[in-house]
Amino acid sequence: MISLTSPIRTRAHEWPAGVKLLALAVATALLFSARTVMPQALAFAGMVVLYILPGPEFARAGWRSVRIIWPFVVLIVLWHLVTADYAAGLVIVLRMITAVGLANLVTMTTSLSEFIAVIRWITTPLRRFGLRSEALEVAIALVIRFTPVLVEKGHGLRLAWRARSTRRAGWRIVLPFTVQALDDADHVAEALRARGGLQAMQTNENK
């Protein structure tokens, strides 16, 4: 597993995780409330500036993370070209790229432990009703850490298919990809059991 936090330090790394997540929620709400191209274009430009300010290396790393949404961008563009609803298509594309870019920016400047601390604080009142917040914390941490790993493994399977066939991989790599994902999940479950499981984690936390 790998961390999504950028090793390139920025001012945003020092900001509280809760503040960044709240700002992300507000920014996303504003993006969805804007219905015209101009506000979306300005927000997109602002997002690009935020990536450029820490330097070209940080910007390139951010672009590598955001570009995985390009298939959705292509589908949206093609659909709105067919329906001749160009303005609406541009609004949706700009909104999606900006929202994902801002979310990725928060992830790149926030450590996993900070995310978990925010989740723990939010779910603390729910413990009175029997919610095991430690399970939620671990689940979210695993999703954040394993997403880029699974994306990379899917890319590796596509490359392996291209090396052996001239046809497109398509659905043919779904089964091996699923097997790899299940195998990774099994290894993680074994690791958690070897460390005493979630109950042991909670006990260590309370000490």
Regions of the chain short of the pLDDT cut 70: 1-4, 133, 197-207
Q: What are the sequence ranges of the domains in the chain?
A: 16-110, 125-206
Structure-token pair, residue 167: 């046809």
pLDDT at site 207: 47
C-alpha span between 35 and 8 (Å, rounded): 35
C-alpha span between 35 and 170 (Å, rounded): 35
Phi, psi for 158 (deg, rounded to 5): -65, -40
Structure-token pair, residue 159: 């490359």
**What pTM does this model have?**
0.69
Residue-wise pLDDT tens digits, 134-173: 777 777 777 777 777 777 788 888 888 888 887 777 777 8
pLDDT at site 198: 59
* Residue 40 and residue 94 in contact, taking contact as beta carbons nearer than 8 Å: yes
C-alpha span between 133 and 122 (Å, rounded): 9
- Per DSSP, helices labelled H in 34-124 are 37-52, 56-66, 70-82, 86-108, 112-123
